[in-house]
Structure 1
């Protein structure tokens, strides 16, 4: 059973309104369709279970019978942090499979993309429905039917046009949007407020005079700092995309306090951190390019063969670069050099820090490389 029912009308700590992901919208649509198909109910709203166990109640726009199954629609609401899919209508078509022991199957309906290039979390040829939303869809089926033996098609009205405003064309997802989400929720981030909060966190960390401060874009580096390095929470700054803002705040705080910080550790995925090698200090996709070309330049500088360098430059994601380099004898050397060059760039932005060390991690938490610059 869900541990608690979340209320999206209650503001987040920053005063902004939370929203829900395309994965949650699709899950709510599936649950509504199954309730109609199996129980004859036509719900105006449904309760879904989020990945971390909480529940969320979402409005349903339409439910109706179709040949051999049911259809439902849910409008995605991004809260006060709207993205390209805010307001999009997600729909699900569901039909039973002949044997309750069979697994759920997934298809991309009109407006949902298909993966055509390696490097994403879904194999080539599959509908662009990420692993966590797939798990949410399966769980919703079990909650209604006790099994997952259904053929599920997920679509999005105007999804192909919406996808042109996302990174999907560059990532090798064709035909529409991706069904995304790792928590089921969209946490609202006022960029100005978040940047200001990063500055506050940096100053708090400096005034604690720790032996090291850790900067990280997100969860990978945060977990490494807390679990492996045992760094106290106050010394860990989640800077999100605001790499330049965090470094400028650190330089100012060290200058103001006169504290000689022994070491700055920066940890995270190279898809974010390697962007600074292109001069991008705000690593949000709206303000920066992709990092594959930076990885390719480093590889070329180390003397990797032209074919390998070209493959890195042509990769659709940095995760694809990770896969390519995992099979290359100089792969570890490339990531170590990327880490070294990133560290050098960061130290140039915050010269009051004598030592900067960078640790790079793959999405599964595997460490790729670590070096000082």
Structure 2
């Protein structure tokens, strides 16, 4: 994760807003003969941003316009991408249809807001585009019969940096955006992806999913259970975002894997594990050392420690199994958040990806892990 810069941050525009602007420009060109440049749209909350056109092309029955996405100061992988809308006049009475062009993905699994086979253009951007089409049709006295094709040159390569593959979106990016505005470092796209991963898992009949704090713990949990990629949720630091959604949209079993320091935070009740939003309480950690059988001297060393990793090493040297206690406390914290919706277990990993502690319900044993902790 890119570290948030200091000072005020500039907002940006979602791919959905950019696609809507390009769509309006192309449709207006088809109806009036000229492209508006810049093109202004109205967003769901009333904002009226304007976008400069990069492409403005038209022919017999079609028009194409594009804009460059500006994500503001957010570390969005689609920042700087060209969002292209190609519109073709449809048959009378055909209505408005959406199509995936080059670099825009197609949905292949159930559980997403649109069915398999549809272009990965989310409902809200579709609604925004339909609104612009309808407004212009009323202005120019035209029928809203049009094919809208959205493309993003290079989108298939950019999509490898997203979670689309796990969600069953193939061939490119998704056109996203609820409000049309990108709030820098809001992490809404990440949490949205976690939620969609849960939706897909449920829709495809998976009863066991796993979230991991990073690549090392993810590799460990996948190897431990032999889980396929689609059973893995890209939880990262957002354990709360995952657990709260699972509370309302449960599966039978949830595994959470992570390094010791991250899971200390969960054990202490934090649901956002990022270093800028939660910190290890070393006084509380010293109490955990005591619960684990650690001496008074070890407790004092814990209170003065610089990192949770240092505490783990001190305890390991003293043959105090603090990792097991942290796994138990973290599972209690997770269970409290889930409120009985799903069974949950915790797996603590070291930096080499070895599982050093595991705590949860006995029902997990029927999954027959390929290794043992």
Contact 2:112 2:196 in 1 (8 A): no
Bigger radius of gyration, 1 or 2? 2
Structure 2 spans left out of the alignment, 5+ residues: 199-207, 235-241, 257-261, 269-279, 286-328, 346-359, 361-373
State the partner residue of 1:174.
Answer: 170
Q: Give 1:160 shift.
A: 1.8
Contact 1:128 1:179 in 2 (8 A): yes
Q: Give 1:169 shift.
A: 3.0
Contact 2:30 2:61 in 1 (8 A): no
Contact 1:33 1:70 in 2 (8 A): yes
State the partner residue of 1:158.
Answer: 154
Q: Aligned pair count?
A: 254
Q: Does 1:359 align with 2:337?
A: yes
State the partner residue of 1:105.
Answer: 97
Equivalent residue in structure 1 for 2:24, among 27, 31, 55: 31
Question: TM-score, length-normalised on structure 1?
Answer: 0.55
Question: TM-score, length-normalised on structure 2?
Answer: 0.55
State the partner residue of 1:307.
Answer: none
CA 1:35/1:158 → structure 2, altered by over 3 Å: closer, same or farther?
Answer: same
State the partner residue of 1:129.
Answer: 121
Question: C-alpha separation between the residues in 2 aligned to 1:293 and 1:96?
Answer: 52
Question: C-alpha separation between the residues in 2 aligned to 1:352 and 1:106?
Answer: 55
Question: C-alpha separation between the residues in 2 aligned to 1:290 and 1:91?
Answer: 39
Structure 1 spans left out of the alignment, 5+ residues: 1-11, 195-216, 220-239, 242-267, 281-286, 301-309, 362-366
Structural RMSD (CA): 4.6
Q: Give 1:360 shift.
A: 4.7
* Secondary structure in 1 matching 2:125: helix
CA 1:40/1:131 → structure 2, altered by over 3 Å: closer, same or farther?
Answer: same
- Give per-residue Cα distances to partners, 1:119-166, cap 9 Å, x unaligned: 433321111111111111111111211364211111111222222232
Question: C-alpha separation between the residues in 1 aligned to 2:164 and 2:196?
Answer: 19
Q: Does 1:114 align with 2:34?
A: no
Contact 2:40 2:48 in 1 (8 A): yes
Q: Give 1:186 shift.
A: 1.0
CA 1:168/1:270 → structure 2, altered by over 3 Å: closer, same or farther?
Answer: closer
Q: Give 1:318 shift.
A: 5.1
CA 1:169/1:50 → structure 2, altered by over 3 Å: closer, same or farther?
Answer: same
Contact 1:292 1:313 in 2 (8 A): no
Q: Give 1:27 shift.
A: 0.5
CA 1:30/1:370 → structure 2, altered by over 3 Å: closer, same or farther?
Answer: same
